[in-house]
Structure 1
Amino acid sequence: MEFKMKPDVGFYTETGFGRLDIAGDEEYGFRPYQLLVSSVAVCSGGVLRKVLEKMRMEIQDIHIQADAEREDEEANRVSKITVHFRIAGSDLDEKKIEKAMVLTRKNCSMVQSVVGSIEVEETFEIV
């Protein structure tokens, strides 16, 4: 990826899906921590979806709520990401979903990339 400086604040890159603006100020683009949290949450969601499908569970929808805790004393770094999945479907088995959550954590490249530096907590509910 190539990033170019914007004249006002921040940087941008062109992707196959369009322009991505990134800046420390939300008025000028996505904040870097938002992209980090989004990467962990959506990677986990995609892996979870695939795992549940392989377990032959009929998933109608997955909503993800992701939150970050930051450490003011340490350059405002992200110290914890909490990811909560709300899963809708037919005949969902809680025990199978618990197993799927373990596999998801193990196979999500973004979660594995931050292991040891950022705590990632994943929970779910069936709706």
Structure 2
Amino acid sequence: MNFKMTENGFTTETKFGVLEISGDDNYGFRPYQLLVSSLAVCSGGVLRKVLEKMRMPAENISIEVKEVIRNAEEANRLEKVHLHFIITNSELDEKRMPRVMELTRKSCSMVQSVTDSIEVVETYELIK
């Protein structure tokens, strides 16, 4: 990836289009938003695969970022992200969900990348 400076931030071109990044959300995605998005979507994708492998494929998964805590005293450092998964599936076995969530956390490269620096809390609810 190559990033080019603009008047208000940076841009990069991807095969899906131009990604605008700026510290000011009037001009693009803020870097912390991209980090939170990476944590959420990586986890969601892994969750989907784990459910499929356990023969409980999700009909739908929504991810709500319930909380983001940043530390203003340390350069607005990201300290905590709470991801809440809403999983729709008429055949989910609730007893197996703790293992599903454990495997999801263990297999998500983005969550594993920040394990020692950002607290990532994952909760879920099931809709049948």
- After the TM superposition, which residues 49-64 of structure 1 pair with which residues of structure 2 at under 5 Å, given as runs? 49-64=48-63
Normalised TM-score (structure 2): 0.96
Deviation at 1:59, TM superposition (A): 1.3
Q: Report the secondary structure of 1:96's partner residue.
A: helix
Aligned positions, number: 126
Partner of 1:21: 20
RMSD: 0.8
Partner of 2:73: 73
List structure 1 runs of 4+ shifted beyond 3 angstroms: none
Unaligned runs of 5+ in 1: none
Instruction: Percent identity, please.
Output: 63
Deviations 1:56-83 (A, max 9, x none): 0031100001131100111101000110
- After the TM superposition, which residues 106-125 of structure 1 pair with which residues of structure 2 at under 5 Å, given as runs? 106-125=106-125
**Is the 1:52–1:97 Cα contact (8 Å) retained in structure 2?**
no
Q: Report the secondary structure of 1:81's partner residue.
A: strand
